[in-house]
Amino acid sequence: MAPKVTEVFFSPGGSGERISGLFCGFAGWEGAEKLDLLRLRDFKGAAFQPGEVAVVTAPVFFGRIPEIVARKLRDVKGDGTPAIAMVVYGNRDYEDALIELADLLTANGFVLYGAGAFVARHSIYPTIAKERPDEEDKKILRAFALQCAEKIKTGSPLEASIKGNRLYRSHGRIPFAPKGNSKCTACGACVETCPVRAIPKDAPRRTDRELCINCTACIRVCPEGARSYGGLLYRLGGIKIKKACSGYRTPEFFV
Ligand SMILES: Cc1cc2nc3c(=O)[nH]c(=O)nc-3n(C[C@H](O)[C@H](O)[C@H](O)COP(=O)(O)O)c2cc1C
Ligand code: SF4
Ligand code: SF4
């Protein structure tokens, strides 16, 4: 009998959610429940039982998992519950993000059966890794999913060491933020979606740069396509990041 599986994700740009769904499909876990940590702005926590499975996916921000994800995951408790950890990154590097996610889940009572880092479109500079995940990525994701499903069935937790440094690197900050333009109809969708409440209700074209974590959820949710990045700092950042992302990174997994 298939276990009760829950996909737990924070995916403002949508790639992590997609990769989590593909993973569950390949594992034969169609119909998994979803715990969307972006939509649950006032998340009060969740508890998993030993016979369930949690597939937990986070984006990589500056080689770490975003602080808001770590905060929310501290309230997601396992009870010897099998878990899979996945991070999704924009073809530069995932550095300490996967080991950080794995450490968090283990500390919260989950037992890891697999951990993987997958490449997807860069949410701030969407021409980077635009076509990822591609067919090669999906083959690797499928192999990972099948191995994880088998390991859970046979009760064989993760044995490999996960890549990353336990003295996690520092979180970064970006000196710009997206904002709205004249196409904005003040519908409020971005205001309701922003996980850190950086968009004022009475002036939704604006963004509080001190609060904004550049997750890009507001750009994705705007029905008018009114929110975007622009300006000199954004363009200069693009030159640097495109150079850093110019190679082809292959997904990696640990079982
Ligand atoms: C603030 C921020 C920082 C990022 N830092 C990295 C990084 O360190 N390495 C990388 O390869 N991609 C980085 N990216 C790209 C994301 O990891 C990538 O677009 C990922 O697919 C986003 O997942 P999502 O679509 O589920 O939100 C960053 C994106 C953002 C928004
Ligand atoms: S304003 Fe910033 S933090 Fe809020 S949704 Fe937009 S990009 Fe994310
Ligand atoms: S989602 Fe778009 S149209 Fe709606 S308030 Fe935000 S910027 Fe304006």
Q: Is the CB of 88 under 6 A from ligand 1?
A: yes
pLDDT tens for residues 151-185? 999 999 999 999 999 999 999 999 999 999 999 99
Indicate if the pLDDT at residue 1 is higher than 80. no
The answer to whether residue 248 is domain-embedded is no
Rounded Cα distance, 222 and 85, in Å: 30
Q: How many CB atoms lie within 10 A of CB 244?
A: 12
Residue that is last in its domain, among 164, 189, 214: 164
The answer to whether residue 13 is domain-embedded is yes
Edge-to-edge, what's the strand order for the sheet holding 252-254? Answer: 33-36, 4-9, 52-59, 81-89, 110-119, 252-254
Q: Is the CB of 20 under 6 A from ligand 1?
A: no
Instruction: Report the nearest-CA residue for atom 6 of ligand 2.
Output: 218
Instruction: Report the nearest-CA residue for atom 6 of ligand 3.
Output: 190
Q: Is the CB of 224 under 6 A from ligand 3?
A: yes
The answer to whether residue 174 is domain-embedded is no
Rounded Cα distance, 228 and 50, in Å: 43
Structural domain boundaries enclosing 191: 179-243
Q: Are residues 158 and 194 in the same domain?
A: no
Instruction: Please state whether 45 falls in left (phi above 0), alpha (psi between -120 and 50) or beta.
Output: left
* ipTM of predicted assembly, 2 dp: 0.98
Say what the pLDDT of residue 220 is.
97
Domain count, the chain: 2
Say what the pLDDT of residue 211 is.
96
Which residues are near ligand 2 (CB < 6 Å)? 177-178, 193-194, 196, 198-199, 207, 212-218
- The rounded Å distance from CA 178 to ligand 1 centre is 15
Instruction: Report the nearest-CA residue for atom 2 of ligand 3.
Output: 222
Q: Are residues 84 and 123 in the same domain?
A: yes
Indicate if the pLDDT at residue 3 is higher than 90. no
Q: Where are the beta strands (DSSP E) in the chain?
A: 4-9, 33-36, 46-47, 52-59, 76-77, 81-89, 110-119, 179-180, 227-228, 252-254
Indicate if the pLDDT at residue 24 is higher than 90. yes
Q: Are residues 42 and 130 in the same domain?
A: yes
- The rounded Å distance from CA 74 to ligand 3 centre is 31
pLDDT tens for residues 68-99? 999 999 999 999 999 999 999 999 999 999 99
Mutate which of 187, 191, 197, 208 to test ligand 3's pocket (most atoms within 8 Å of Cβ)? Answer: 187
Residue that is last in its domain, among 115, 132, 164: 164
Q: Is the CB of 190 under 6 A from ligand 3?
A: yes
The answer to whether residue 173 is domain-embedded is no
Show the tokens assigned to 11. 């995916």
The answer to whether residue 118 is domain-embedded is yes
